[in-house]
Amino acid sequence: AYCVAEIAKRSDVFIGVAPDNPRALPAEELTAYAKPYCIDTAAMEHYEAAYHRAVGKAGNSGMVLICGSLYMAG
């Protein structure tokens, strides 16, 4: 929760996605940790859709930071 809060404080948008792993924190729960620190939050089921949404929100001058699962980032 601490890491999520630190990232969310520095973000304009936070999109939470859970990998397909039984040990993963559900996207809704992950996003709930970010909500007090970031106004624009969303929990999404599919990481490809989340990636496209993040890139769209970032535009040409923004940045997309992917944390957690390197499998999803690949």
Burial (CB count within 10 angstroms: exposed 0-12, middle 13-18, buried 19+), residue 18: buried
Q: Which pLDDT belongs to residue 24?
A: 87
Question: Could you give the CA distance from residue 13 to residue 4 in angstroms, rounded to a whole number?
Answer: 12
When pLDDT is averaged across residues 5-10 and rounded to a whole number, the result is 96
Instruction: Pick left, alpha or beta for residue 15 (phi over 0 → left; psi -120 to 50 → alpha; otherwise beta).
Output: beta
Residue 32: the pLDDT is 97
Residues 16-57: tens digit of each pLDDT? 999 888 888 999 999 999 999 999 999 999 989 999 999 999
3-state secondary structure of 23: coil
Q: Smallest Cα–Cα separation from 10: which of 67, 70, 71?
A: 67
